[in-house]
Structure 1
Amino acid sequence: MAADSTSRETGQRAERDLVAIGIAVAAILMFVGTGGAVLPKVIGSWTGVGEAPDVLLVNALLLNIALIIFGWRRYSELVEEISHRKAAEEKARMLAETDPLTGCLNRRSLPPATDDLIALHAPAGNGVAFAMVDLDNFKRVNDINGHVAGDEVLRETARRIVALMPRDTLVARLGGDEFACVLSYDATQPEKLDRLVQRMIDTIAQPIAIADREVEATVSVGIAATLPADTARDTPLDAQELMHRADIAMYHAKKCGKNGYYWFESQMEDELQFRNSLETGIREGLAAGEFLPYYEQQIDLESGELTGFEMLARWHSPRLGLVSPEVFIPVAESIGVIAELSEQLIERALEDARDWDPSLTLSVNISPLQFNDPWFPQRLLKLLVKANFPPQRFEIEITESCLHENVPLVRSMIVSLRNQGIKVNLDDFGTGYSSFAQLRSLPFDRIKIDRSFVGEIGREGGTAQIVNAIISLGQGLGMPITAEGIEDDAILANLRALGQLKGQGYIYGRPETIEEVRERLKGLGRLAAPAGPRHGANAPELAEQAPRKKA
């Protein structure tokens, strides 16, 4: 409606301007005619050689002069107005097509400009490459340094990209921390573009001076090109398809460790579609209760006595079947539902474990993302209270990756949990970068040796010395040790020789459903009370026999 009103107003103004100009032109013609008759008589009358002109003609001449002045002024105003209008239209176009923060093109203007570039190079058989550039962990840059510093990082990133790219490159900020570069591409020499993109990654990674500090940011890049031609397509690639493919390749670069680049490959799109189906399935599965706890036995190696169980997550998807935790756990973390998933499983496990002998413990693995939440201990205690489960029988296990995010927060959370009676164990020890000082300052209750070390014990060139060193470290710090991944008698014998340990692994059996656990405990006489029907009564048997990553 506003556009229509503006159009009508412009049309009416143009009509008035045409009338004014028409009046001025007519006045000039009349001035020429009238002036030719009146002016000689006026001059003659002033010099005394002729009679005075007719008063009516003189008035007509004066009116013509007035109309000419009016027309000229209106013409001047019209020229000035047109000039202002053009400037305003140019400013509006710039605002519509460029990013105000960086001065680059924006998401709206990039696709048509890319299509124009493709059309320009197509007749000569040249290609166009689209590079999607995304800053890694930019939210953290904003959170630590503030949004003003974040804006300066974006501006400096744009300046470095523009300075490095060829003159005719289209550089755009697509929104947030995402940029794009579109440039001509020689398919016979792809290594040139490889070198250019790598140089861009290295340049952007250089520290950025902001106020009294330096900020570092890396980027992940995905590349797609119009050449070689995609024989599976009926039509040539356009801007939207190039952008889509480059975005998929960039996502792949993020998944593969960030601070690098990847060219688009067709299987990446299949992976992305599978990823999207996983995300949808996980959300639906949470609502439908498809995630179930399984339990792995924990044994005292010296006596062979069952001491407790570790809960492991399993997803029984009606569409995908039995999905491994190493597939769905990272996805659940990335889409922000890992806390909901973990707490749902913990609630079920606490319900299951109430029927066990009171001497048996229950341990669960906690995602590093959950340990970034300062309210996690309170929510965990709420679950224990709801289930009426003694905190002294409950253990949580965190990996070394938790220790590098925020050590003071981790320390306060461990202390809070232990004050409630919950034990906190350091899981997969040896695979991360825990320092001796961290182990001394963080009050862990137990260290678990990763299965990658345990499985090599007894083999030539194996890891017996590493395992022995970890056990000695635990003894020195007063921390008991659990060994994971015990799969045969030789490994078990070697571990028994190293000291008093707890252990778990497939030598004692595969992870079991609650019904299987209940049957086992019934046979051992270690059920605290008769068990009623539970949520896992109809759970399918564990179909996979290979070791699985713990939730």
Structure 2
Amino acid sequence: MAARENNRQNSPRAERDLIAIGIAAAAIIMFVGTGGSVFPQALRSWLGSGEAPDVLLVNALLLNIALIIFGWRRYNELMAEIRQRRAAEEKARQLAQTDPLTGCLNRRSLPPATDALVARHHSDDQAVAFTMIDLDNFKRINDVNGHLAGDEVLRETARRIVALAPAEALVARLGGDEFACVVPYDAAQPERLDRLVQRMIETIAEPIAVSEHEVEATVSVGIATTRAGHPDAAEALDGQELMHRADIAMYNAKKCGKNGYCWFEPQMENELQFRNALETGIREGLVNGEFVPYYEQQIDLENGELTGFEMLARWHSPRLGVVAPDVFIPIAESMGLIAELSEQLIEQALEDAKEWDADLTLSVNISPLQFNDPWFPQRLLKLLVKANFPPQRFEIEITESCLHDNVALVRSMIVSLRNQGIKVNLDDFGTGYSSFAQLRSLPFDRIKIDRSFVSAIGREGGASQIVNAIVSLGQGLGMPITAEGIEDDETLDNLRALGQLKGQGYIYGRPETIEQVRERLEGLGRLARPAEPVDGAGAAELAREAARKKA
């Protein structure tokens, strides 16, 4: 549509240009005819051998000269305009095909250029590799150093990639902090490509001078090739498919720890499709109420009495069945849905626990991402108030990883929660990097020993000594201890010998649904007793008692 409009706008000008050229051509023809008559007469008149030329013919000749000059100037202007238009079109083409910041190709132009490169190197001994290069933690570089520094990092990264790439390679910035380098290589020697990519990773990681200081950036690289494997058979892959595969491999490199590279393997795509299915299922499950709380018993090891339950999340997926939390919790965290999921489960668990005996506690695990939210204590208290659940019966459990990001924020949140009567426990103790000073400064109510140490008690190795040390530490700090993962009588006997502990594990049974918990508590006589109805006289007596207390 725009092209047709431009053609309509340019058409009158083109017609005027043609008319001007036609006039100039006619003027030249007339100049030749008129000049052939006027100039000889003028020469004879000047020599004194003839009459002066006719004034009308002289005027016509001068007019022809003026028209010729006009036509010539218009022709020059027309050619200059054409040159400008061609330059503008070339600039527009470059803008459409290249990244303005780095001068590399862009996402739009790379696939067809890749197709052409693949076509040129489609033979038994040649292959083409598509490398996807993504800067690690680039947002932090922008946040700390500013966007101008970030732009300089991008430009320098592009320069370093171009400097290392072979002459025929294609280098592109796909957007943001993502680059690509498409390289032809000898299919019989893929290790050369490995060395090239490794050099790129090492070179890009070298410090970049920005505004009188240095910035360091690492990259994760994914590699996809026109060879199905290393280097079996050639595949009919176009630029888009190569880009898709390299992108999958790049994210796998990030998942494996960043600052490295991965070749694409078919199972990576299967894993990605499974993850996408999980993400879709999690979103639908939150809407449909498919996430339900299960409960694991917590026992006083000294007398064997039930003291409470730990809530554990389960996903009742209509397609996948019952899904364990270690599958969907990390994905929910990466999707930013962990707070919604956790609060939905806590709300259900609080309603369930209202049926229990008043001396039974409910504990729930809190994601480190939730503990980064300064408003989390207020939202948790709102759930307790809504359920009319006593905060003294409620415990939250956080892992040691929560302590490393912002200790001051964690301390203020723990104090806020404990001021409301909620107990805060340190979960999976021994697997992180908590220091003695942190334990002394953070007012935890309980320490939970990780199951990896508990299950190894009594066997060869240092697990028993570690458990002994944790128990002694808890006694010294005045913090009660809970041991997780008790699965056999020998482990239970060893723990009982260490002192007064709580414990939980499969020796007491698997996590149970609320229906199973209700049946268990009913058998133990530990369900909350409903308030007994009172008759009219009893109601009057209660009213008088309330009046006396008020007085």
TM-score, normalised relative to structure 1: 0.92
After the TM superposition, which residues 107-256 of structure 1 pair with which residues of structure 2 at under 5 Å, given as runs? 107-122=107-122, 125-211=125-211, 213-228=213-228, 236-256=236-256
The answer (yes or no) to whether the contact 2:307–2:361 under 8 Å persists in 1 is yes
Q: Distance in 2 between matches of 1:407 and 1:155?
A: 37
What residue number does 2:322 align with? 322
Q: Distance in 2 between matches of 1:499 and 1:214?
A: 55
Q: Distance in 2 between matches of 1:203 and 1:441?
A: 43
What residue number does 2:539 align with? none
Q: Given the superposition, is the C-alpha separation of residues 493 and 64 from structure 1 closer, same or farther in structure 2, using an over 3 Å criterion?
A: same
Instruction: After TM superposition, give the deviation of residue 400 of structure 1 in Å.
Output: 1.6
The answer (yes or no) to whether the contact 2:125–2:187 under 8 Å persists in 1 is no
Instruction: After TM superposition, give the deviation of residue 334 of structure 1 in Å.
Output: 1.1
Instruction: After TM superposition, give the deviation of residue 297 of structure 1 in Å.
Output: 0.8
Q: Distance in 2 between matches of 1:206 and 1:232?
A: 35
What residue number does 1:261 align with? 261
What residue number does 1:14 align with? 14
Q: Distance in 1 between matches of 2:301 and 2:148?
A: 57
Helix, strand or coil for the counterpart of 2:8? helix
Which letter does structure 2 place at the counterpart of 1:422? I
The answer (yes or no) to whether the contact 2:190–2:230 under 8 Å persists in 1 is no
Q: Distance in 1 between matches of 2:433 and 2:214?
A: 25
What residue number does 1:397 align with? 397
Helix, strand or coil for the counterpart of 2:223? strand
Q: Given the superposition, is the C-alpha separation of residues 286 and 506 from structure 1 closer, same or farther in structure 2, using an over 3 Å criterion?
A: same
Helix, strand or coil for the counterpart of 1:122? coil
Q: Distance in 2 between matches of 1:112 and 1:502?
A: 65
The answer (yes or no) to whether the contact 1:204–1:218 under 8 Å persists in 2 is yes
The answer (yes or no) to whether the contact 1:293–1:314 under 8 Å persists in 2 is yes
What residue number does 1:341 align with? 341
Task: Give 5+ residue unaligned stretches, structure 1.
Answer: 532-551
Q: Calculate percent identity across the aligned residue pairs.
A: 81
The answer (yes or no) to whether the contact 1:230–1:236 under 8 Å persists in 2 is no
After the TM superposition, which residues 445-524 of structure 1 pair with which residues of structure 2 at under 5 Å, given as runs? 445-524=445-524
Q: Distance in 1 between matches of 2:212 and 2:306?
A: 58
After the TM superposition, which residues 366-445 of structure 1 pair with which residues of structure 2 at under 5 Å, given as runs? 366-445=366-445
Q: Distance in 2 between matches of 1:411 and 1:147?
A: 33
The answer (yes or no) to whether the contact 1:134–1:220 under 8 Å persists in 2 is yes
Q: Distance in 2 between matches of 1:241 and 1:276?
A: 18
Instruction: After TM superposition, give the deviation of residue 233 of structure 1 in Å.
Output: 11
Instruction: After TM superposition, give the deviation of residue 447 of structure 1 in Å.
Output: 1.6
Cα shift readout 1:46-103 (whole Å, capped 9, x = no counterpart): 3323210112211111111001100111011112111211221122112111122222
The answer (yes or no) to whether the contact 1:229–1:236 under 8 Å persists in 2 is no
Cα shift readout 1:356-385 (whole Å, capped 9, x = no counterpart): 112111111111111121111111111011
TM-score, normalised relative to structure 2: 0.92
RMSD, aligned CA: 2.2
What residue number does 1:104 align with? 104
Bigger shift: 279-288 or 299-308? 299-308
Bigger shift: 289-298 or 248-257? 248-257
Q: Larger Rg: 1 or 2?
A: 2
Instruction: After TM superposition, give the deviation of residue 350 of structure 1 in Å.
Output: 0.5
Bigger shift: 90-99 or 45-54? 45-54
Bigger shift: 412-421 or 263-272? 412-421
Q: Distance in 1 between matches of 2:415 and 2:147?
A: 33
Q: Distance in 1 between matches of 2:395 and 2:155?
A: 48
Instruction: After TM superposition, give the deviation of residue 227 of structure 1 in Å.
Output: 2.1
Cα shift readout 1:288-313 (whole Å, capped 9, x = no counterpart): 11111000111122222211111000
Q: Distance in 1 between matches of 2:191 and 2:231?
A: 23
Bigger shift: 239-248 or 21-30? 21-30
What residue number does 1:85 align with? 85
Cα shift readout 1:443-501 (whole Å, capped 9, x = no counterpart): 22222111111111101224111111222222233322211111111111111222222
Instruction: After TM superposition, give the deviation of residue 234 of structure 1 in Å.
Output: 11
What residue number does 1:53 align with? 53
The answer (yes or no) to whether the contact 2:142–2:150 under 8 Å persists in 1 is yes
Instruction: After TM superposition, give the deviation of residue 229 of structure 1 in Å.
Output: 8.1
Instruction: After TM superposition, give the deviation of residue 509 of structure 1 in Å.
Output: 0.8
Q: Given the superposition, is the C-alpha separation of residues 504 and 214 from structure 1 closer, same or farther in structure 2, using an over 3 Å criterion?
A: farther
Q: Given the superposition, is the C-alpha separation of residues 276 and 12 from structure 1 closer, same or farther in structure 2, using an over 3 Å criterion?
A: same
Q: Distance in 2 between matches of 1:396 and 1:425?
A: 6
Task: Give 5+ residue unaligned stretches, structure 2.
Answer: 532-551
